[in-house]
Amino acid sequence: MSETTPPIPKGLDPELVEKISGGLDLCSPGDIDGIIRGLRSNYDELVDFTSYMFDRIAGN
């Protein structure tokens, strides 16, 4: 099964399409690592908050 690239819509230049596609030249591995660390931190805080709220509701 072959995949073909659809044509670029009128009004979009190839440079803009490249930026939208999110190539690695726009985001380094260090940037990705920082984003993942931030997401993990936010997730951990959400879990802590949810546990706190469950404890409050349960009356512990």
> pLDDT tens across 18-53, in order?
777 665 566 777 888 898 999 999 999 999 999 999
- How confident is the model at residue 24, as a pLDDT? 57
14 is a domain residue:
no
Specify the number of domains making up the chain: 1
12 is a domain residue:
no
Contact 26, 19 (CB under 8 A): yes
The fraction of the chain above a pLDDT of 90, given in percent, is 38
Domain that holds residue 45: 27-60
**Cα angle 1, 25, 36; round to 5:** 90
